[in-house]
Amino acid sequence: MAETLELILAEREELTPYVTRFVLRSPTGATLPGYSAGAHLTLTTPSGEKRSYSLVEAGEQQPTEYTVCVRREDQGRGGSLSMHRHARIGDTLTVSGPHNSFGLEPARRYLLIAGGIGVTPIRSMANELRRNEDAIVDVVYLSRSRDDTAFAEEFEQSGAVVHHSAVQGRFDLWPLLAEPDEDTRVYCCGPQPLIDDLLALTMHWRPSRVHVEDFAGVDALGGRQVPFQAVWEPTGEQITVPAGRSLLHTLRDHGIRVPSSCESGTCGSCRIRLISGEADHRDLVLTEDERSRYMMPCVSRAAGPEVSVAPDGFEDPPH
| Domains of the chain, first to last | 4-99 (2.40.30.10), 109-214 (3.40.50.80), 228-311 (3.10.20.30)
* Residue 215 pLDDT grade (very low, low, confident, very high; cuts 50, 70, 90): low
Distance CA 206, CA 208 (A): 6
Task: Give tens-digit pLDDT for 245-274.
Answer: 999 999 999 999 999 888 888 788 899 999
For the whole model, what pTM was predicted? Answer: 0.77
* Residue 1, amino acid: M
Distance CA 206, CA 314 (A): 40
Q: Looking at 45-54, 76-85, 127-136, 181-190, which range is the least confident one?
A: 76-85
Listed in sequence order, the residues at least 6 apart from 286 whose beta carbon sits closer than 8 Å to its beta carbon are 268, 271, 294, 295, 296
CA atoms within 13 A on the CB side of 286: 25
